[in-house]
Amino acid sequence: MSQTISTAPRPVLIDRYGRQINYVRLSITDRCDLRCVYCLSEGMTFLPRNQLLTLEEIARLGRCFSELGVTTLRITGGEPLVRRNAIWLFEQLGQLSAIHDLTLTTNGTQLSRYARSLKDAGVSRVNISLDSLRPERFRRITRIGDLDRTLAGIAAAVRTGFQRVKLNSVILKHRNHDEIIDLTRFAIEQGIDISFIEEMPLGTVSGHDRVDAYYPSDAIRHDLAQTFELLPTTEMTGGPSRYVRIAGTDTRIGFISPHSHNFCSNCNRVRVTAAGRLLLCLGQEHGVDLRRALRANPTDDERVRQTIVTAMELKPPGHEFALSSQPGLIRHMNMTGG
Ligand code: SAM
């Protein structure tokens, strides 16, 4: 039965396991101005322009998802803010009345320039990746990054007054696990949140072995509890993070634990790669080519929505990440849209 958007009750996306999908991550480029060691391989090649969705196509997809009950869009990449005219896209998505939460994941390098325009476009929350506060180490982890630039971006985001700013730190044993306390203190000083992420086995990495580098969320929590009073909280964002609060501060700490605490049973999200592939799971290959659906139906949004609705059948029960030196999946996070 086909759904008529204008008259029928608002349709929703529900998968075979009864999970409602109301959150979509849109990757708008696979390119990045950093080369984080756990994310990209050295000498990575990027997609040619004609394989990427245009910004107009991404805006159209955002609209289709919003008409299917999606309320949160997160724009990611690669580094989304290196895509030319990215602000135009935020402005388009910011006008979708069904989207209550327009959010961004960024490495912060461009935020000094764009934070104000992003806020004006309707971005509510910003996640900024930061794995070290030591300039040389920051450079080693990102291969080419300049810590001061990212810190300036974080300061700009805080000044701009988004509803919420959160740091994302991927913690690797012997690379940065000794900075958990410093990173948390920094978040507290800024009055923002921080999430600690276990490395996921996406793509081949050189330079470290993922098994050796594994630093579980429970170890991070244990380290934190030596210094801070951690208050349990039942707060959930519908996402993979489990949270605690730090007593006497406004800061929440999130733990994203793909290995130690599987987060799939409540999964409410899907992803679209920069090339327009709808991925039903971060850790599996189940997917559908939305670029083809968009280009075959340039004026017929209903066909695109139908393709999305049908794709929900493919959403697997979980990601099945295994802790292994070999990649679980060939695609890197910059392809997937982190
Ligand atoms: N360039 C933006 C940024 O740095 O936030 C957005 C894209 S990046 C792929 C999104 C997030 O994914 C970052 O926080 C990054 O640290 C994280 N990430 C990348 N590869 C990862 C991996 N293999 N395991 C866990 N997190 C990863």
86: Cβ below 6 Å to ligand 1? no
Q: Residue 161 CB: number of other CB atoms within 10 A?
A: 10
Q: How close are the terminal C-alpha atoms of the chain, in Å?
A: 34
107: Cβ below 6 Å to ligand 1? yes
Which domain covers residue 105, as residue numbers? Answer: 13-336
Q: Closest residue (by CA) to atom 19 of ligand 1?
A: 39
CA of 333 to the centre of ligand 1 (A): 6
Q: What is the pTM of this model?
A: 0.94
199: Cβ below 6 Å to ligand 1? yes
Mutate to test the pocket of ligand 1, among 129, 256, 259 (most ligand atoms within 8 A of CB): 129
82: Cβ below 6 Å to ligand 1? no
pLDDT for the residue 285: 83
338: Cβ below 6 Å to ligand 1? yes
- Residue 179 belongs to a domain: yes
Q: Closest residue (by CA) to atom 26 of ligand 1?
A: 199
- Residue 1 belongs to a domain: no
- Residue 193 belongs to a domain: yes
- Which of residues 276 and 240 earns the better pLDDT score? 276
pLDDT tens, residue by residue, 119-147: 999 999 999 999 999 999 999 999 999 99
CA of 5 to the centre of ligand 1 (A): 35
CA distance 116 to 125: 13
- Residue 170 belongs to a domain: yes
CA of 303 to the centre of ligand 1 (A): 32
- CA separation (Å) from 316 to 39, 140, 322? 24, 36, 16
CA of 312 to the centre of ligand 1 (A): 25
301, two tokens: 């949004």
At residue 190, φ and ψ (nearest 5 deg) are -80, -10
Number of domains in the chain: 1
Question: The domain spanning residue 330 has which CATH number?
Answer: 3.20.20.70
CA of 59 to the centre of ligand 1 (A): 23
CA of 142 to the centre of ligand 1 (A): 11
% of the chain at pLDDT higher than 90: 77
Q: Closest residue (by CA) to atom 10 of ligand 1?
A: 338
- Residue 4 belongs to a domain: no
CA distance 184 to 169: 10
- Residue 274 belongs to a domain: yes
pLDDT tens, residue by residue, 66-112: 999 999 999 999 999 999 999 999 999 999 999 999 999 999 999 99
Residue 329 scores a pLDDT above 80: no
- Residue 8 belongs to a domain: no
